[in-house]
Structure 1
Amino acid sequence: MQLLGYDIGSSSIKASIVDAESGLQIAFAQSPEKELTIQSPRKGWAEQDPNVWWKHVKATTARLLDSDNVQKEAIAAIGISYQMHGLVIVDENKEVLRPSIIWCDGRAVDSGSEITEELGEAYSLSHLLNKPGNFTASKLKWVKEHEPDLFQKIFKFMLPGDFIAMKMTGQINTSVSGLSEAILWDYKKHGLATEVMHAAGIPENVVPEIFTNFGQHGKLSERAADELGLPSGILLSYRAGDQPNNALSLNAMDPGEIASTAGTSGVIYGVTDKPLYDKQSRVNTFVHVNHNEDLQRYGVLLCINGTGIQNSWLKNEVFNSELDYRAMNERAESVAVGSDGLSIIPFGNGPERILQDTDTGAYIGKINFNRHRRAHITRAAHEGIAFSLCHGLDIMQEMGISIESIRAASSNMFQSRVFRETLCNCANVPLDLYETNGALGAAIGAGIGAGIFSDREEAFKGLQKKGSVDPDPKQRDEYLRAFDEWQLTLKKILETEA
């Protein structure tokens, strides 16, 4: 028996086949080979065509099926992981009405502030555990106010994963955790946040049918099966945003278990059984994948937008594509802790939540033309992302999140020794690295949702630890001094912005 998982990212679409008996990934593919384009028709905007995601789902599936290990008739269930907080809107014919307003788009900040003002901060935090901010509900309000004719044509709104599920099954539905990430879930009522809908002027009939993350979300239609080259009738049994799914892929399901990723965005995701919130919404609380009324599980998410794009910018603009990421990582290792005084503030990809949706832009500070070279810039960039995450970790700990260790996949920026050691030493906790990915996690989730695994131990029997990093007592003071300097630079920038 085999399980199929998709990871619908803003950079690429990935797919994985997992052998249900061993829990191991036996095939993997992605499309396109280069990163997907993000359209930015105006400053601060970020859009993608959902039909392009579907095009690459088909291309990825075709590549996956070329593997000798894949037996398409043996695929028992499908799971979907997806980029969070995006907005997809369709008409009654299920046709896309406009490009998706994706996670890093900053246009709806004012719309979110207006919802918060109408509901009041106390209500927003106690019922939503967040301010509406720049999330999906606010983006939908923006469409209503700025594209009213188009808004009138909306049959349903969806998150990116809901759209892919619709293409697969022909059904339109969403999940509880999906609505929580849209800031449309009321934690006190355990239901749809109708007050947010009313404050935003959004009719309730545009909300899809609501499911749990695990379960029967529909079956692969004949039309979709023909497009994908798969048998019809395969059960779609799991769906989650990329960060809750990353936590699942690392078997982070209970209070105190912390997951991290540093790909397109840099994230720390802490699981708790308490509905905690930050009064300034610098980090955000959502429903975790295994949450229910009897076993409450929440995920507190710290996100840094300017992560992967900063590394890509360095590769293309600073190194003129002369080096790959591995070679850049090696250059960074040639420079001492603190980058010889050079400091990078990495917030160059739109408004950042830990800065209360302030868009400061990125800064490269204290350059000395006699000392600093491209290797210094690379190390400072990797340190800057780690420092940003540690800045957010301080907020999470103030909220009451216990952080004893961090789990992460051994990929993306975690392949950088500089990044790993900076994060580990500044957070002062061990870092455990595993062989996993989002598509693999979605496949495991599909197995759980379809009832193929008898328990959690069986579901994660294939999770393989690749190594760990412990804080270094001999160097930790150096890292903390560099972190203090970085925070002073950030403070000055924020004071200037104010």
Structure 2
Amino acid sequence: MLLLGIDVGTSSIKVSVVDAQNGQNVASASYPDKETEIIAKKAGWAEQSPDLWWHNVQQAILKCNASGKYKPKDIAAIGIAYQMHGLVLVNQQAQSVRNSIIWCDSRAVDIGNKAFEDLGKEFCLAHYLNSPGNFTASKLAWVKQNEPEVFETVQQMMLPGDFIALKLTGEATTSVSALSEGVLWDFEEGTVSYELLKYYGIPESFIPKIKPVFATHGLLDKEVAQKLGLQEGVAVSYKAGDQPNNALSLNVTEPGEVASTAGTSGVIYGVTDQLLYDPQSRVNTFAHVSHSAQAKRLGVLLCINGTGSLNRWTKSIAGDALSYTEINQLAAGVAEGSEGLSILPFGNGAERMLNNKLIGAQFSNIDFNIHTQAHLFRAAQEGIAFAFRYGFDILKENGMQASVIKAGKANLFLSDVFAQSFVNITGVPVELYNNDGSHGAAIGAGIGAGIFASAADAFASTKPLQLIEPQKNNLEEAYESWKNLLKKQLS
């Protein structure tokens, strides 16, 4: 029995086909080969086309089918992971009516901040565990205020994964986990955020049918199945945001367990059974995939927008002809601390952990006689690790502790420089696993379809590839210099 996982990433779509019997990957494919463009019509804006996502999903599945490693009609369930917080709006014909305003778009910050003040900070934190901030509900309020002609055509609002499921099945559904990431769920009342919808003037009818994360969200449409070579009626049985899904794929589902990623953005995601919130909303609490009214499971999420995006930028500017492996090797040849070169990796939109400030990336202490291309690469990776430490300290302020952090051996965690810097500066060991978002989505589909009894059952045989432990180091001095540079920019 086979499971299909779809990961709707910012850079590309990745799909994996997994054998449910042994949990092993049968085949994977991504599409397109080059990174998908982020449309930025103004500074701080970030959009992508939902229709392009759908096109790329289909192409990725067909590309994976073309491997010849499996029979497409043996796929028994489909799961979807997706970039969080994006706003997708569809009309009565289930067609998208504008580009998606994606996770790193900053245009709605002021709208969300005003709602936080007007509704009351204590009310918002008690009920939503977050400020409305720059999340999905506030992005929709921006559309209502600035594009009334578009708003009038809207039949329903959804998250990116909801849209892909809609295109696959013709059914519009969402979940408490998805709604919570848009600040559209009231934890105190156990309902949709009616007060926030009323405040923004958003009709309740815009919210799709709410289902559990692990549930049938629709059956594969006949025409879509024929086009993709799949069996008609296969269930889409799982949908989750990329970070809750990453945590699931690392078997991080119980209180005290912590996961991390360092892709386009960087995340530390810890699970708790308490309704925790940060009074300043620098970190955010959402319903985890395993959350229910009977057993609270919340994900406390620290997000840094400018992680892999900084690494990619330094490559394009200073090492376009080099592979990431070669860049990592060059970085490893530079001493710890990058000989004084310091980089703030905050050039990809407003940063929530910096109170939604948009400070841009900063480079400090460049010495033309000392610093080389290799210093730039190392300073970028250390600067990203320092940003994780800064955010990790905020998580600790809010009661989140970690004895070990689980991460996939992918993206920046493929770099020994970054991985060891991350461990040394946080002081927490990291277990690296062979996982990715599309594989996790496939396993989620198996849980939702009842093929696995639970996440524990699904990941019973999963073992870490590598354990990285803190080593004696001299990074603290470099971190203090980095933090002083950050304080200057924030003052």
| Fold shared, TM-score > 0.5 on shorter chain | yes
- What is the SS of the residue equivalent to 2:89? strand
Are 2:483 and 1:494 equivalent residues in the alignment? Answer: no
- 1:106 & 1:404 partners in 2: Cα distance? 34
Residues 450-489 of structure 1: pairs in structure 2 closer than 5 A: 450-472=449-471, 474-475=472-473, 478-489=474-485
Task: State the match for 2:58 in structure 1.
Answer: 58
Q: Indicate the residue corresponding to 1:177 in structure 2.
A: 177
Query: 1:223 is aligned with what amino acid?
Result: E
Deviation at 1:434, TM superposition (A): 0.2
Partners of 2:403 and 2:392 lie apart in 1 by 12
Partner of 1:73: 73
- After superposition, give the CA deviation of every residue in 1:407-452 in whole Å (9 maximum; x if it has no partner): 0000000011111111101111111000010000000000001110
4+ residue stretches of structure 1 with deviation over 6 A? none
1:349-369 deviations in Å (ceiling 9; x for gaps): 110001011000000101111
Question: Contact 2:259/2:270 (CA < 8 Å) preserved in 1?
Answer: yes
Q: Is the 8 A contact 2:74 2:231 kept in 1?
A: no
**Aligned residue number for residue 295 of structure 1:** 295
- 1:27 aligns to 2:23 (yes or no): no
Task: Report the CA distance between 1:462 and its aligned residue.
Answer: 4.9
Shift of residue 465, structure 1, vs aligned partner: 1.6
String of CA shifts for 1:433-477, please: whole Å, max 9, x gaps: 0001000000000000111013333301453421010001x22xx
List aligned pairs for 1:49-198, cutoff 5 A.
49-198=49-198
Instruction: Tell me how far apart the structure 2 counterparts of residues 25 and 122 of structure 1 sit (CA, whole Å).
Output: 46
Contact 1:258 1:270 (C-alpha < 8 Å) held by counterparts: yes
Matched residue SS, 1:465: coil
- Corresponding position of 2:254: 254
Q: Distance in 2 between matches of 1:117 and 1:471?
A: 42
Instruction: Give the distance between the partners of 2:307 and 2:227, measured in 1 at CA.
Output: 34
- C-alpha displacement of 1:223: 2.0
Moved more, 4-13 or 63-72: 63-72
What is the letter of the counterpart of residue 156 of structure 2?
A: K
CA distance in 2, matches of 1:444, 1:285: 24
CA distance in 2 between partners of 1:214 and 1:50 (Å): 23
Deviations 1:260-297 (A, max 9, x none): 00011101000111011111000100000000011110
Say how many residue pairs are matched: 491
- AA aligned to 2:481 is E
Give the 5 Å matches for 1:422-441. Answer: 422-441=421-440
| C-alpha deviation, 1:481, in angstroms | 1.6
Q: How big is each residue's C-alpha offset from its partner over 1:211-260, in whole Å with a ceiling of 9 and x where there is no partner?
A: 11001111101122123221110011100000000000000000111100
Structure 2: unaligned runs, 5 residues or longer:
none
Stretches of structure 1 that go unaligned for 5 or more consecutive residues are none
Q: CA deviation at 1:67?
A: 2.4
Letter in 2 for 1:81: A
The aligned runs of 1:336-375 (5 Å cut-off) are 336-375=335-374
**How do 1:8-47 and structure 2 match up within 5 A?**
8-47=8-47
* Partner Cα separation in structure 1 for residue 350 and residue 219 of structure 2: 38
Does the 8 Å CA contact 1:24/1:463 hold for their aligned counterparts?
no
Partners of 2:66 and 2:478 in 1: CA distance: 49
TM-score normalised by the chain length of structure 2: 0.99
How much identity, in percent, do the aligned residues show? 51
Aligned counterpart, 2:312: 312
Aligned with 1:236: secondary structure?
Answer: strand
2:229 and 2:135 map into 1 onto residues whose CA distance is 35
Q: Give the Cα separation in 1 of the matches to 2:162 and 2:267.
A: 22
**Counterpart-to-counterpart distance in 2, 1:282 and 1:302:** 8
1:321-376, Cα deviation, whole Å (9 max, x unpaired): 11111111111101111111110000001100010110000001011111111111
Question: Which moved further from structure 2: 478-487 or 10-19?
Answer: 478-487
Match of 2:205 in 1: 205
Residue 317 of structure 2 aligns with an amino acid whose one-letter code is: E
1:401 match: 400
Looking at structure 2, the residues matched to 178 and 469 of structure 1 have their Cα atoms a distance apart, in angstroms, of 33
> Distance between the aligned counterparts of 2:177 and 2:130, measured in 1?
14
Conserved 8 A contact 2:248-2:455: no
Cα displacement string for residues 170-229 of structure 1 (whole angstroms, at most 9, x for unaligned residues): 011111100000001001111101001011111111111111100111110112212322
User: In the alignment, is the contact (CA less than 8 A) between 1:81 and 1:245 conserved in 2?
Assistant: yes
- Higher alpha-carbon deviation: 154-163 or 67-76: 67-76
* Mapped contact 1:22–1:461 kept (Cα < 8 A): no
> For the residues of structure 2 that align with 1:209 and 1:114, how far apart are their CA atoms?
29
